[in-house]
Structure 1
Amino acid sequence: MIHGIGTDLCDVRRVADTLARRGERFAQKVLGPAELQVFRARRARSETRGLRYLATRFSAKEAFSKAIGLGMRLPMRWSDCEILNQASGQPHIVLHGELARWFAAQGLRAHVTLTDEGDHAASFVVVERLAGGDQP
């Protein structure tokens, strides 16, 4: 059963402006540890690739927060929600800390897709309630 759906459209130029103003502190606030490693590696190869990676992750976390119905309130924290890639390239959500415990207790599973083109990054998240999950 679907618990929630979230979508987000992010202007990559806004992310670029924020990154220019705040430096890597912005990336450290938004990204989890594994994402931060990927961001740094991509940014070292190409500033544009790093920027697009950061924008897609920002967008996906916004969409995820909408799909779970919390917005950016605890236990939802930017760095406790990572959008990583399977070996195949498929994105998936990895949760940590209190957010992971809350999500598991709710009996939820998330699916994410993301894309970027030109000046925009977009994402779509579907959160489903597994059979036997707690009802809020």
Structure 2
Amino acid sequence: MAAIAGIGMDLVKMDRIDRAWQRHPERFPEKILGEDELRVFKARAARDRSRGVRYLATRFAAKEAFSKAVGLGMRMPMWWTRMQTLNMKGGRPAVVLSGPLAQWYEMRFGPAHVSLTDESEYGAAYVVVETLQDAPHSTNVSGAE
């Protein structure tokens, strides 16, 4: 039976994310989103700006929630682009880590679970991190799109 090692939650106002994106239309998404997230974001934002804002907000919240769940905050090896929330084939969001963060995490924790939601004014994310014992060794999710 898996045990919980950490829980993180974050709530963000959509207009705050929208204003940051308006001030820095290229730099803000590139600072926050990983390579795969950035590809999805650009496609959604091209279809509808509000979908782009919602995607940015929920991914921002997921990164904040994850950093709280593992107890790092936004300090090394945690960095925005090293933690991505990607949808698996069925649509379920999955945590995908890279670089030094993935290596640091795999030595300390088991699987991470993320849930995202958004409404007109807010985006939110909730992350649960399992303990290392009784857990698979890798946190990267194969099959993530």
Shorter-chain TM-score: which interval? over 0.9
CA distance in 1, matches of 2:116, 2:26: 22
Aligned-residue sequence identity (percent) comes to 53
CA distance in 2, matches of 1:106, 1:132: 12
For 1:47, give the aligned amino acid.
R
Of 33, 38, 43, the match for 1:36: 38
Is the CA contact (8 Å cut-off) linking 1:60 and 1:124 kept in structure 2? yes
Shift in Å, 1:41: 0.3
Deviant stretches of 4+, over 6 Å? none
Is the CA contact (8 Å cut-off) linking 2:95 and 2:114 kept in structure 1? yes
Name the structure 2 match of 1:61. Answer: 63
Q: Show CA shifts across 1:21-56 (max 9, x none).
A: 111200000000000000000001111111100000
CA distance in 1, matches of 2:109, 2:134: 7
Of 98, 102, 106, the match for 1:96: 98
Q: Which consecutive unaligned segments of at least 5 residues does structure 1 have?
A: none
Name the structure 2 match of 1:129. Answer: 131
Shift in Å, 1:98: 0.1
Name the structure 2 match of 1:9. Answer: 11
Shift in Å, 1:131: 1.1
Q: Show CA shifts across 1:79-114 (max 9, x none).
A: 000000011110000000000000111132200000
Q: Show CA shifts across 1:3-22 (max 9, x none).
A: 11000000010000000011
What value does the CA root-mean-square deviation take over the aligned residues? 1.1
Which shows bigger deviation, 62-71 or 99-108? 99-108
Name the structure 2 match of 1:108. Answer: 110
CA distance in 2, matches of 1:125, 1:83: 11
Q: What's the TM-score, normalizing by structure 1? A: 0.95
Q: What's the TM-score, normalizing by structure 2? A: 0.89
Is the CA contact (8 Å cut-off) linking 1:107 and 1:132 kept in structure 2? no
- Tell me, what secondary structure is at the counterpart of 1:72? coil
Q: Which consecutive unaligned segments of at least 5 residues does structure 2 have?
A: 136-145
- Tell me, what secondary structure is at the counterpart of 1:19? helix
